[in-house]
Amino acid sequence: MLLLFETAAGHALYELKNEAKLKGLDPDKLALKLNTEGGAAKALTLKKFAPFRDTTEAVAAATDFVESKLNKQLKKFLKKEVTLNGVELGVADPKLGAIIKEKLDIPCVANSFVNECLRGARSLAFTGDEANGSVADSGDVRAMQLGLSHSLSRYKLKFSPDKVDTMVVQAVGLLDDLDKEVNTYAMRVKEWYGWHFPEMARLVNDNVHYAELVRKVKDRTNFKNSLDVVTEVLDDDETAARSLLETAELSMGTEVDPSDMDHVVALADQVVELSAYRKRLADYLRARMQALAPNLTTLVGELVGARLVQHAGSIMNLAKQPASTVQILGAEKALFRALKTKHDTPKYGLIYHASLIGQAAPKNKGKIARVLAAKCSLAVRVDALGDGDDATLGIEARAKVEARLRQLEGGALRAAAPNGTPKKLVDVVSGASAPGYSAASDVVLSDKKEKKKKKKKRKAEDDGDDDEAAAKKAKKSAKKAKKEAEEGSAKKKKKKDKK
């Protein structure tokens, strides 16, 4: 019997001596015999060793071996070395053995006896003694194993089918961090610059415009000579620019030292730069989501879709989730709190921010969330496992959700769907038939006489109700008085009997 032994240095072929004698031993005795270097050297001899030429070849061979594939190098090696008919080849992987038998017509064996023999070959292969069947020194083999493991890890990360959604997860996480940072920095700029020009915060609401004015105009005394700059920053709104200039002349703010102003301007630069980068990142995320999950993006938009992928961990994990889980993804705290307190469970999680749910009335949001989650579950499975990159399924699914929304709302949609709704969907929505005018639903006002009659009738009914209530009250009080009288007479009778 021959043994195929895979190492980080190459392929080794060992010949097993005294096979019948070794097979007759107990598994424990066999392991004890082959565990030592001397015992392994007596039972095994190295027939041939084919080293890898470079790390690339080693990574390719290791990858094929892990996936139970027969690569060209191993096929060539076995064809050349295993030439005797009827000789069995011991392998560690039964699947690889089946492939070798099918392709090369070499009978293969993969059982516990072969595994024990391969353990013996492992103890023999890395001793550094070539005369006893060693392929390399133990120190060299450890270095080869370390280099191969690093190269194999890099290869798997580089060619992983899930590598693209990693970029989406990181991008949407960075987008949230940028929003927090920009808001924090912008509030700090307003608070800092507000000591010098407090009125500007009321006139300029946009954080980026505010920071642009601070970095370009700086001191408030420069506003009167900067009408063009202010107008350009405020999107060519000359009225707002003139109002700001007039306010700057009458401002109640304090004077600021130039060195202090330099730090305020530096912080304003950070706000403007981070805001610009945030826009570029949002465009990148939109393009990446269109490439990664076009159907999911069509249904819920790129931002909500990216958050769903981020929360699930990867698009493949999201594709494995049922629609009921997709519906409440992101509301786990509320779900477990509701289960613990035996209250109603949440109807939606991250999917609540989708534009289709935003268009629904409050009473219909739960129903639309359920329908949308079902369509999202189908769409993300097509995106993750399908070969195409078109959004046909997403367009059709969105049209069905909008039709269901119109059915629940009893008419047309309340607002146009954002997030770049495809033209086909716009045509579907605009082509919906609006309910016609119904003359039967008109209400005609009655005459004054009829109003008076109704008023009198209502008053009479109210009076009758009052009389009936008074009669009931009198009857009740009479009953109570009669009962008290009977109790008093009973007490008197008892007293007489005692006497």
State pLDDT tens for residues 148-206: 888 777 776 655 454 578 889 999 999 999 999 999 999 999 999 999 999 999 999 99
Residue 125 has pLDDT above 60, yes or no: yes
Q: Which strands, in side-by-side order, build the sheet including 2-6?
A: 44-51, 10-16, 2-6, 89-90, 108-109
Q: What is the pLDDT of residue 163?
A: 52
The two structure tokens encoding residue 237: 């709104």
Q: What is the pLDDT of residue 210?
A: 94
- Phi and psi (nearest 5°) for 155? -65, -45
pTM: 0.55
The two structure tokens encoding residue 479: 């009953």
Give the lowest-confidence range in 62-71, 223-232, 456-465.
Answer: 456-465
Q: What is the pLDDT of residue 437?
A: 45
Q: What is the pLDDT of residue 118?
A: 81
Contact 110, 91 (CB under 8 A): yes
Q: What is the pLDDT of residue 418?
A: 47
Section 241-261 average pLDDT? 90
Section 271-291 average pLDDT? 94
pLDDT in tens, 329-368: 999 999 999 999 999 999 989 999 999 999 999 999 999 9
Give the lowest-confidence range in 41-45, 329-333, 452-456.
Answer: 452-456
Section 130-146 average pLDDT? 69
Rounded Cα distance between 418 and 456, Å, is 57
Residue 19 has pLDDT above 80, yes or no: no
Quickly state the pLDDT bin for 235 (edges 50, 70, 90): confident
Quickly state the pLDDT bin for 20 (edges 50, 70, 90): confident
Q: What is the pLDDT of residue 377?
A: 95
Give the lowest-confidence range in 34-38, 239-243, 280-284.
Answer: 34-38
Q: What is the pLDDT of residue 9?
A: 80
Q: What is the pLDDT of residue 165?
A: 83
Contact 261, 218 (CB under 8 A): yes
Section 250-279 average pLDDT? 93
Q: What's the mean per-residue pLDDT of the chain?
A: 81
Beta bridge partners of 6: 11
Residue 413 has pLDDT above 60, yes or no: no
Give the lowest-confidence range in 31-40, 157-166, 256-265, 285-294.
Answer: 157-166
Give the lowest-confidence range in 86-95, 305-314, 372-381, 450-459.
Answer: 450-459
Q: What is the pLDDT of residue 45?
A: 78
pLDDT in tens, 80-110: 888 767 778 888 888 888 888 888 888 888 8
Q: What is the pLDDT of residue 480?
A: 78
Quickly state the pLDDT bin for 444 (edges 50, 70, 90): very low
Give the lowest-confidence range in 222-226, 317-321, 413-417, 472-476.
Answer: 413-417
Residue 427 has pLDDT above 50, yes or no: no
Q: What is the pLDDT of residue 103?
A: 84
Q: What is the pLDDT of residue 442?
A: 46
Contact 293, 391 (CB under 8 A): no
The distance from CA 35 to its chain's CA centroid, rounded to whole angstroms, is 50
Residue 2 has pLDDT above 80, yes or no: yes
- Express as a percent the part of the chain with pLDDT over 90: 36
Residue 231 has pLDDT above 80, yes or no: yes
Beta bridge partners of 90: 3, 109
